[in-house]
Amino acid sequence: MLLNFKEDMSFGWFGRLQFKVNFKVLVIFLITFGFSLSASLAGNQPETSSLNLMPYPAKVELAPGQFRLSEKFYIGGEAQPGHRVFKAASRFMSRLSGRTGLFFEQDYLAGQTVTDQTRLFYHFDQPGRLIPGEDESYQLKINSEKIELRARTDLGLLHGFETLLQLLSADGGGYFFPCLQIEDSPRFSWRGLLIDSSRHFMPVEVIKRNLLAMSAVKLNVLHWHLSDDQGFRVESLVFPRLTQLGSDGQYFRQSEIKDIIQLASDLGIRVVPEFDLPGHSTSWLVGYPEYGSAAGPYQIERKFGVSSPVFNPTIEKTYKFLDSFLKEMTALFPDPYFHIGGDEVDPKQWKENPDIQRFMKKNNIPDEASLQAYFNRRLLKILTKYHKRMVGWDEIYQPGLPKDIVIQSWRGQQALVEAAKNGYQGLLSNGYYIDLVESAERHYLNDPVPVDSALTPEEKNLILGGEATMWAELATPETIDSRIWPRTAAIAERLWSPQGIRDVDDMYKRLRIISLGLEENGVQHLKNQPMMLRRLTRSYEIGCLEVLAKISEPVKGYSRHSQGKAYNSLSPLTRFVDACYPESFEARDFRLTVEKLVTSRDLRQAEELKNRLQLWQENHQKIIDLAETAPALKEIISLSESLKNVSLTGLEAINLIVSGQPADSAWLQTKFELLEEARKPVAECQLAIISGVELLLNSLKK
């Protein structure tokens, strides 16, 4: 089966797909393997495939047959021990062995020379450079006798190994790879994940396991946020008080930074550091108050939000200090790009400092935004001296800056469009703020360059890609993985795959399977929930708590900060809400089943829904009993009670649907009011099944 993806504008703004099917090959494949394609639920858009690949490749050609795995599976190529590809091939074999339990005969750690026994051949033409725009394409061919993986650069091979692992299948006869051909390359060259290690410190093990997970879904940039008001996180040998006084003792030694950069390089991932300037700078000024715009002393900020401390941009010693610091850091971080932050500068201290105001008047600087632009130009000159290209948030965009800077947009696509129209390269992060615990669907349908974009082809080329942003106000090393994964895999597909691949239902189907595979890289997005619930209850018997947690979600956006708790960097993030996943897949399944019931009146769906609702209704008493010995659960009793009431409403509605009886209008009104009450957050959580029950009620309206 040949899937050729190309945009068909006649299908509307979301770019439906056309695909050509080699029918003869498809029939053979269906007969041989029972492979089937189900009709898409998104209008005329075809489902991408039943292959559980993410990101989905640009071109896939399926063929009859299978490559069967055995312990005599040998890998071979031209890479030598120590080379990036050799390491990748070794990891591939180790992971393949772990997934299958096969004891491979080859000592793949000692050598991968091609022999008559070789069944997986890999080849690349040249080493890949870790820069935007480098060739990351690859070609994968599998027949019943051998597997060939080829790429222009070794970066492409890394991606090909990940695709091959995702293709691993099994049946009663053992493990196999389906026969096929894949030609694949990314849509965008900058596919990033921002990890904030400042608001809450994220130690080495957190960064490493997330680098491995990034590689699994073909992300290629770690944007590392390393300074903010709550902490300065990188050892400086030139200015040691930055971490001595500004980090609470939690920071990365330079040796650890180098180790992380090496791992990232082995995975084909660039590391772009961010040191926020001139605002968000409290932690800088704790040790070096003489560079601030107000008299010290300064203390590490425990609260979140926009703080007043800001560098003084009008004194020369500020630039001498930053020159020395940047000289050290640009030598430590080899990436050609360097992020200066530049966002959310509070001008209060600039306005209140008479010396700064006199400087502005003397130099015809009309306002504080222009003063920040002056600071940015001075900073750009320093970075250019050290051969770095400057990246910053929307606020750094000012007329007159050189066109080789990169604007990262948190404000929205319009800001990105404006920058591109003026010749500036850009990155999209608005819509990819994963710390806001929005749905994977919302992120997935958010595109750096929408189909209906008014940009010219030349302007579109200035959009380098995008980044998922994991800000850490409400995340700790224990919870950060569940806030990143698996939703970031959906963002990774948006940044890699052809634009027309946007079937949401198919994405969710594949996302669940990819989520399980990500655990292999050490990320703890699935395993930590039961651990956290056990700690809350001091018990192994947490079944009822898991039932409630799996259909509850944290409140969305920034609303947790307005729910009554005054969060700061020392607050516990160990409550029930922190154990809940950002998105409930169980609630989504429930709603989809409801949709089937109200359209088909199929009794099978009715019974399935009733079983779920009965379980949720009966769960409440168990929560009450558990809370008697676990005071931390007292705050969720009313949430559990709401679940009981909502579940009873759902059961009553299904009985009416199945019986065909009309619903009394007064009864309906009462139940809709009950749902509205149940929508109110409890302990910063919300029930995710309410929309499904509401759909049941709506179907009963006359």
Q: How far apart are CA 121 and CA 75, in angstroms?
A: 6
Q: How far apart are CA 565 and CA 233, in angstroms?
A: 27
Instruction: Tell me the backbone φ, ψ of residue 408, rounded to 5 degrees.
Output: -100, 120
How far, in whole angstroms, is CA 276 from its chain's centroid? Answer: 22
Please indicate whether residue 344 is annotated as part of the active site.
Answer: yes
Relative to beta strand 221-228, strand 231-232 is antiparallel
Q: Which of 589, 623, 611, 612 is nearest to 691 (CA)?
A: 589
Q: Is 645 helix (H, G, I), strand (E, B) or coil?
A: helix
Q: At what angle do helices 637-659 and 690-698 cross, to 10 degrees?
A: 30
- The answer to whether 148 and 121 have CB atoms below 8 angstroms apart is yes
Question: What is the chain's Cα-based Rg?
Answer: 27
Strand spans (E) along 581-620: none
Relative to beta strand 118-126, strand 147-153 is parallel
- The amino acid that residue 523 corresponds to is V
Q: Is 630 helix (H, G, I), strand (E, B) or coil?
A: coil
Relative to beta strand 74-77, strand 118-126 is parallel
Number of H helices, E strands in the chain: 25, 19
Q: How far apart are CA 391 and CA 33, in angstroms?
A: 50
> Which residues on neighbouring strands pair with residue 227, listed in sequence order?
232, 275
> Which residues on neighbouring strands pair with residue 465, listed in sequence order?
190, 427
DSSP for residue 9: G
Considering the candidates 47, 344, 595, 608, report the single residue annotated as catalytic.
Answer: 344
Q: What is the per-residue DSSP string for 334-393?
A: -SSEEEEE-----THHHHH-HHHHHHHHHTT--SHHHHHHHHHHHHHHHHHHTT-EEEEE
- Residues of 524-556 as b/e, b for ≥16 C-beta within 10 angstroms? bbbebbbebbeebbeeeebebbebbbbbbbbbe
Show Cβ contacts of residue 361 under 8 Å, excluding neighbours closer than 6 positions.
Answer: none
- The answer to whether 374 and 313 have CB atoms below 8 angstroms apart is yes
In the structure encoding, which two tokens stand for residue 168, read together? 């691993």
Show Cβ contacts of residue 573 under 8 Å, excluding neighbours closer than 6 positions.
Answer: 200, 474, 475, 476, 478, 479
In the structure encoding, which two tokens stand for residue 371, read together? 């003063």
Sign of CA dihedral 416, 419, 423, 429: negative
How far, in whole angstroms, is CA 417 from its chain's centroid? Answer: 23
- The answer to whether 207 and 195 have CB atoms below 8 angstroms apart is yes
- The answer to whether 657 and 699 have CB atoms below 8 angstroms apart is yes
Instruction: Tell me the backbone φ, ψ of residue 218, rounded to 5 degrees.
Output: 70, 25
Q: Is 183 helix (H, G, I), strand (E, B) or coil?
A: strand
Q: Catalytic residues, which ones?
A: 344
